[in-house]
Amino acid sequence: MVEVSPTAPVRAMELITILNRCHRFRGFVYQHAHFSADKKSIEVAVRPRKGSAAVCSRCHLPAPGYDQLAERRFEFIPLWGFLVFLLYTMRRVDCRRCGVVAVEEVPWGDGKRTVTKAYMLFLARWARRMSWKETAEAFRTSWDKVFDAVEPILRKSRWLLLRRSENLGAD
């Protein structure tokens, strides 16, 4: 048992430290975390790391910036019963390879979805143990978001099964 003297300074571990240890994104920095105005969720501001180029969402290569869009909220894995949102101002890129101005690709997002890839995987894993409705209720989300999390995994597993049967020569 460790005793802490009342005069010894105790430094609380910060949420940003935890996120950096378990879920770091290359080219991005967790700026700060705070409770939302209603105190029901935690909002974590994310910004691009200085000097990091935005990535074109079409060709997946770095491209020069064009401008910024409004801040978006991405649902992240809940923590201690609080909903967690990543807040990020998406950049648009002027991609000369594609010849278009496109929204950047972010490592935690999947297209226009508002749920992070990590949260989708989290929900999909829980949906294997509980019904989709129970999963949605347990994590205070919608059945649709659980479906959206599970559907790509089911699609990929069906594709793998079909491919395996083709390799075996089965009809």
Each residue of 121-154: b (16+ CB within 10 Å) or e? ebbbebbeeeebeebbeebebeeebbebbbeeee
Q: Do 104 and 97 touch, CB atoms closer than 8 A?
A: no
The residue with tokens 């994310």 is 46
pLDDT in the model for residue 169? 52
Predicted model pTM: 0.80
pLDDT of residue 13 exceeding 70? no
Q: State percent of the chain over pLDDT 90.
A: 60
Q: How confident is the model at residue 4 (pLDDT cuts 50, 70, 90)?
A: very low
